[in-house]
Amino acid sequence: MVRWTTPRPRLSRRRRRIRRRRALLATLVACCLLVVSVGWVGLRGWQARAHLLNAAELAQELSAQLTQGDTDRAQRTLSALQEQARQARAATAGPTWSIAGWLPYVGDDLDTVGQIAAVIDDLSRHAFPSLLRVDLTALLPRGGKLDLSALKAVAGPLTAGDEAVQRNRARLAGLSTDGLLPQVGAALTALRQETDRLSQLTATASQGARVLPALLGADGPRSYLLVSQNLAEVRATGGMLGAYALIRADDGRVRIVSQGSSSATLLRFDPPVDLLSTEMRHLYTDLPGVFPGDVNLTPHFPTAAKLYREMVRRRTGTTVDGVLAVDPVALSYLLAATGPVTVPDGPKLTAQTAVRTLLSDAYLRLDTVEQDEFFSAAASAVFNSLLARQVSLPGVLSALSRSVHERRILFWSARAAEQQILTTSRVAGTLPEQEKEPTVGVFLNDGTGAKLSYYLTQTANLTVGACRPDGRRSLRLRLTLHSSVPRDGLTSSVLGPAKHVPPYTVRTLVNVFSPAGGTVLGGRLDGTEVALGSGTERGRHVVVANVELGPGKSRTLEVDLLTAVDTTVGTAHLWHTPTATPWTTQIDTAPACH
């Protein structure tokens, strides 16, 4: 009996061919869809790029118009900025763009571009309109008085604008540049830097608007010490605290009541003013509690201000409500806004000459008593011109913003609630005990009592290194100091006592602070291992190096550090002493740890 069977091999081959055709067709369809999608995404990306470039230019115009008080033009510019930002966000929104974010090689770039567009759109809709409602002219005195009701009125819009800026700053901080195309990474870095600057400005303005009315006497008279940081003899916060003025503020009107100096009025304290912690005495001995000019051997300004306030109280019987510190460089910025001022029985001060006149010429031409009198008169002249003259709004805002950013204007309030509001601002000069990103501090203190710090220049490079198995990250600081001190021709007022060093030699004590929770491993001076003094302050490991420089000489200090445990970011910050000459700094970042 014959059995007929189906030719399975032949039918199986036919089915396999059908399956292959279907798979090939599906692949072709998928490839076509992918090509169309990529082309669509590329087109939308090109459109987004054009809108973002336009938005960047409009944002710069808006900033200039706001500081100039040109609200009509600023409103038109804001409308154009909002439209460009909306178009950029629309070009990077939708399911196709979101799906493209999962593509290999370019997905992260597309996602980042979308995030950038969203941030700019959010700033244009929530931050800038609030800031535009602020009448910046309220920040200027009229007839020697500030309008406190106007100051109170700007607090709300400034706070709303600051909240929007801080929200978007945090959003940008959460984005990584690892693996991005160079153009996208550069755009993200640039926007992050601009937003950081804007956040510092809005935070300071918001905090200031909240506390300024009370500080200026809205709830009753206040008194403050206005102290000058003498950068010719460097200290951690800037310069030795020399001349001071007692200021009264009442209902927005501010005036100088009396003046004095650390050397002539306050002298020295024996026994020391006992406001130092044990760890601070280990680092600085009792000097900050003995000599008024040494209260700011520490970079933590609230400590220095409390010491100085107590010293004035003990000598004069006056208890002030706060301490305001400025330096000659900040005065030069203000002089650019007020114009030149004439100091009684002294030279005219201009923006170009103030630093040299106050930090060099005065020591070459005047004796010690005359120097104190001149410094007090100069501070009064600039202060009075700022209150009495019709000054440039953009100039004053620029001077104040730059001075605060460089930590050349510092303020401490004796009232805890006010100080709490200001504590996160640069104006507070607070050395934080906790931080989100590692910060290395480089603070300078003169080691001779001379006035030679005027001739120092500084270059600092901070490099973020390898990730470690223990969760820490290595850092390397490279600091170069150079002396331009002449070889002769300086007076004894400039050279000082010259103890333990030859004349015309600059001796600087360099204090390097680790990141919060971090440590310092060691250091080298000009390539040779060097002994470093060691201690702690506010949760940071501190080392001290003695660097001596002859005329025209340079020396380089290298210090190896570690961050706190669980540091994954590849960024770092550098905080340094404000000096008479600008620092040259560079921070070399690295990819985040995974």
Residue 355 is part of a domain; what is its CATH number?
A: 3.40.630
Q: What is the mean pLDDT of residues 263-272?
A: 93
Residue 407: per-residue pLDDT: 96
Determine, yes or no, domain membership for 16: no
pLDDT of residue 472 exceeding 70, the answer is yes
Determine, yes or no, domain membership for 369: yes
Determine, yes or no, domain membership for 13: no
Question: pTM here?
Answer: 0.85
Q: Domain end: 364, 398, 421, which one?
A: 421
Q: Domain end: 394, 421, 448, which one?
A: 421
Examine the domain organization and report whether 51 and 196 are in the same domain. yes
Examine the domain organization and report whether 132 and 253 are in the same domain. no
CATH number of the domain bearing residue 493:
2.60.40
Residue 163: per-residue pLDDT: 92
The pairs formed by 290-294 with CB atoms below 8 angstroms and a separation of 24 or more are 291/262, 292/241, 292/262, 292/266, 292/267, 292/268, 293/233, 293/235, 293/240, 293/241, 293/242, 293/262, 293/263, 294/235, 294/240
Residue 28: per-residue pLDDT: 37
325-337 confidence digits (pLDDT tens): 999 999 999 999 8
For residues 120 and 88, give the distance between their C-alpha atoms in angstroms, rounded to a whole number.
Answer: 9
Examine the domain organization and report whether 291 and 401 are in the same domain. yes
Q: What is the mean pLDDT of residues 486-510?
A: 91
Examine the domain organization and report whether 211 and 226 are in the same domain. no
167-176 confidence digits (pLDDT tens): 988 988 888 8
Examine the domain organization and report whether 417 and 541 are in the same domain. no
Q: Domain end: 373, 389, 421, which one?
A: 421
Determine, yes or no, domain membership for 2: no
- Report the Cα 15 to chain-centroid distance in Å: 71
Examine the domain organization and report whether 195 and 97 are in the same domain. yes
| Number of structural domains found in the chain | 3
Q: Which two tokens stand for residue 337?
A: 């806004």
Closest-CA residue to 479 (of 495, 454, 458, 464):
458
Examine the domain organization and report whether 200 and 312 are in the same domain. no
Contact 266, 315 (CB under 8 A): yes
**Which one is predicted more confidently, 430 or 591?**
430
pLDDT of residue 370 exceeding 50, the answer is yes
Examine the domain organization and report whether 364 and 460 are in the same domain. no
pLDDT of residue 7 exceeding 80, the answer is no
Determine, yes or no, domain membership for 3: no
**Which one is predicted more confidently, 23 or 536?**
536
Residue 282: per-residue pLDDT: 96
Residue 16: per-residue pLDDT: 58
Examine the domain organization and report whether 172 and 236 are in the same domain. no
Residue 24: per-residue pLDDT: 39
Determine, yes or no, domain membership for 343: yes
For residues 452 and 481, give the distance between their C-alpha atoms in angstroms, rounded to a whole number.
Answer: 13
Examine the domain organization and report whether 209 and 226 are in the same domain. no
Determine, yes or no, domain membership for 11: no
Examine the domain organization and report whether 395 and 444 are in the same domain. no
- Report the Cα 241 to chain-centroid distance in Å: 22
Examine the domain organization and report whether 236 and 381 are in the same domain. yes
Q: Which two tokens stand for residue 572?
A: 């770092």
Domain span including residue 75: 28-215
Residue 35: per-residue pLDDT: 34
Mean of pLDDT over the chain: 85
- Name every residue whose Cβ is closer than 8 Å to that of residue 206 and which is 6 or more positions away in sequence: 155, 158, 159, 161, 162
Determine, yes or no, domain membership for 290: yes
The pLDDT-based confidence of 2 (bands split at 50, 70, 90) is very low
Residue 22: per-residue pLDDT: 47
The pLDDT-based confidence of 381 (bands split at 50, 70, 90) is confident
